[in-house]
Structure 1
Amino acid sequence: MMKKRVFLFTCCAFLALSSFGQQQLGQRPRVKSPVVNADGTVTFNFYDPTAQRVSVSGDFEEIHNKRLDMAKQENGVWTVTTPALNPELYSYSISVDGQRFVDPSNSYVNRDISTLSNIFIVSKSTDDKGHLYAVNNVPHGTLSRVWYDSPTLGQQRRMTIYLPAAYDGKKRFPVMYLLHGHGGDETSWSDLGRASQIMDNLIAEGKCVPMIVVMPNGNPTCNAAPGWWHEGMYTPDGNAFNQRGAKASMEESFMDIVNFVDNHYMTVKKRSGRAVTGLSMGGGHTFGISRLYPETFDYYGLQSAACRMPRGIVPDTPNSNLNQDYDEQMKRLFDSKPKLFWIAIGKEDFLMQMNTDLRKYLDEHQYPYEYYENDGGHIWRNWRIYLTLFAQKIFK
């Protein structure tokens, strides 16, 4: 009899607690955020009944100050709806009483150096950028994180490699080397740049040649992305371990990457099957690689490039003949007749003057190049565009 009473008491207690738990769950509104509406507007929702001020900040070009104040509802949910946004991949965060947070209702998060931001995509047709950056029902390539040996740097290093869906280990494919900017690593182009989605979609639509894409780590003092090598979970700051110095520069060690890729994958092992492009610091690396190995690559793409020229060599400045080595490197490069030397930059980019100086130099020496200029500054939104354009220009 006593056992029956204990059992009944336990069951009643469990039911009471379950009822309490369900009641509490019922009191907290289910929040979905963001909601991409059919008209291209986007609604953000955030639950915090105790907050005094909540706002959303993102890379919304359609919003003047990039910030939207949210309004509090009676149920403690803060909400705001944007004007119609153009097709694009957007990043945003939420500010609660002055503190920055990722949106707890959105599990899609990217890291840019040490900053975490949520992302979402707006798409209105199969011909827009939003569709291009999305995962669509097309054949998918394989994305791998690969370790390789760099004798020049004396390190085991990591890179990301994209193999197109058609890669079967029998047919040879050309290779595009895709370089990140300052503070980035071997995950930047695949995560922030949507490189695999862009390549999958372009290849499926017949807009570019199927190719291998190699995305190395461009920091010679770091073996891999933060948390993925023996230094552990340090805080990324864009300058990690630079004080140590390196045995060689990224450009000087670059052929270690090319040799590894050629030895481990079915590649077109000649100049016509190799392209190199990069953004910002990676654009500077591309520029240096073009001068060090003028007959190794046929296609060069400088995206918002940190293409600093030697002092005194910029046209219309005193002592413009100070760096004879630079002149000789550039002459050797263009005498070798690369198939493409491409420069792309946004009108508001803080590196515009460097790129303008480089173009003046090229014009003065009648060296052929292609130039693309668009709106905006030093931002991923532009670099995704530049990758899309460059990939369609090469290996044809």
Structure 2
Amino acid sequence: MCDFHPGTINKINFPSEILDREVTLSIYLPKDFTRLFKYKVVFCFDGLDFFSFGRIHRTYERLREENKVERAIFVGFHYEDVDKRRAEFHPQGARTHLTVKAMANEILPYIDRTFPTFKVGNARVVLGDSLAGSVALMTALSYPRVFSQVGLLSPQHDEVIQTLLERCQFKEQLSIWHTVGIEEDDFELPTNGRRADFLTPNRELKNIIEAHGISHNYFEFDGSHRWKSWKELLDELLIYFLSDNISF
């Protein structure tokens, strides 16, 4: 077993048989971690970005000191490169279904075996930005009783996600926090320089989610499709999912 240190980002190479590769995971145990208590788990697709650009663990520790959030462990799922990210995160990616399956059948069981966690769906949060938001939503729609809490930062939405919403059973167990920037109607994609509209599809996704009667907290922020904007929203996101007073 790896030696995990509280208060630091612990990187491991997790061997996934489903993805047929090693997945780099960043695991953050809070400074006050103890095995005497159970923890919620926050899974972050685009994990390196959440830790490096979002500084989500620092935001958590500050909120924890202010007694605004509960005990939680953070697990970041890294992508290998831009092309492989698209293949494993995009709604129409050739390997995205394998990512979802690996999260539910390999990575989650490993975390539950290794740490004292609440082993219920409403104590597990899946987060993602952009394409990572898409795969986070697809994970929850595929396993709503396993991952029932979802945080979406400007996800990409298309007919694949709409079909999953229509087919999802137990969708009443889901709780979705969802935001998009009002400046995202004409965004230059960093990978190819093309222009893209994230705002209109996210408004459509909002309407579809609400039509299915899913618990949905949606708002639009004054900003663009960048971590500079998303980082400012992490306080609200963490308080939304980690302030249920299950265990202090």
Q: How does 1:1-396 map to 2 (within 5 A)?
A: 141-180=7-46, 186-217=47-78, 219=79, 222=80, 238-239=82-83, 246=95, 249-255=98-104, 256-310=106-160, 323=163, 326-329=165-168, 332-335=169-172, 337-338=173-174, 340-349=175-184, 350-395=197-242, 396=244
Q: Secondary structure at the match of 1:168?
A: coil
Greater RCO (CA < 8 Å, at least 6 residues apart): 2
Q: What per-residue deviation string (whole Å, max 9, x for no partner) do you get for residues 48-100 of structure 1?
A: xxxxxxxxxxxxxxxxxxxxxxxxxxxxxxxxxxxxxxxxxxxxxxxxxxxxx
Deviation at 1:258, TM superposition (A): 0.8
2:177 partner letter: W
- Whole-angstrom distance in 2 between the partners of 1:201 and 1:372: 24
Q: Structure 2: which 5+ residue stretches go unaligned?
A: 1-5, 89-93, 185-196
1:273 partner letter: A
Deviation at 1:368, TM superposition (A): 3.0
Structure 1 residues 271 and 365, CA gap change in structure 2 (3 angstroms): closer
TM-score by length of structure 1 reads 0.51
Q: Between Structure 1 and Structure 2, whose CA radius of gyration is higher?
A: 1
**Aligned CA-pair RMSD:** 2.5
- Whole-angstrom distance in 2 between the partners of 1:240 and 1:216: 13
Q: Structure 1: which 5+ residue stretches go unaligned?
A: 1-139, 181-185, 223-235, 314-322
Structure 1 residues 284 and 247, CA gap change in structure 2 (3 angstroms): closer
Which 4+ stretches in 1 moved above 4 angstroms? 240-248
Identical columns (%): 20
Deviation at 1:356, TM superposition (A): 0.9
- Whole-angstrom distance in 2 between the partners of 1:369 and 1:204: 28
- Whole-angstrom distance in 2 between the partners of 1:368 and 1:187: 28
Structure 1 residues 301 and 167, CA gap change in structure 2 (3 angstroms): same
Q: Say if 2:27 and 2:73, in contact at 8 Å, map to a contact too.
A: yes
Aligned length: 220
- Whole-angstrom distance in 2 between the partners of 1:240 and 1:299: 26
Q: Say if 1:309 and 1:358, in contact at 8 Å, map to a contact too.
A: no
Q: What per-residue deviation string (whole Å, max 9, x for no partner) do you get for residues 321-375 of structure 1?
A: xx5x64121xx2423x23x211111111231111111112123334331112111
Q: What per-residue deviation string (whole Å, max 9, x for no partner) do you get for residues 296-345 of structure 1?
A: 1231111111122349x6xxxxxxxxx5x64121xx2423x23x211111
Q: What per-residue deviation string (whole Å, max 9, x for no partner) do you get for residues 190-214 of structure 1?
A: 1111122111111111121121011
- Whole-angstrom distance in 1 between the partners of 2:140 and 2:66: 30
Q: Secondary structure at the match of 2:215?
A: coil
- Whole-angstrom distance in 1 between the partners of 2:132 and 2:217: 18
2:190 matched residue in structure 1: none
- Whole-angstrom distance in 1 between the partners of 2:34 and 2:140: 30
Q: Say if 1:281 and 1:305, in contact at 8 Å, map to a contact too.
A: yes
Deviation at 1:240, TM superposition (A): 5.4
Deviation at 1:248, TM superposition (A): 5.2
1:275 partner letter: V
2:134 partner letter: G
Q: Secondary structure at the match of 1:266?
A: coil
Structure 1 residues 362 and 265, CA gap change in structure 2 (3 angstroms): same
TM-score by length of structure 2 reads 0.79
- Whole-angstrom distance in 2 between the partners of 1:243 and 1:310: 14
More helix by share: 2
Q: Secondary structure at the match of 1:253?
A: helix
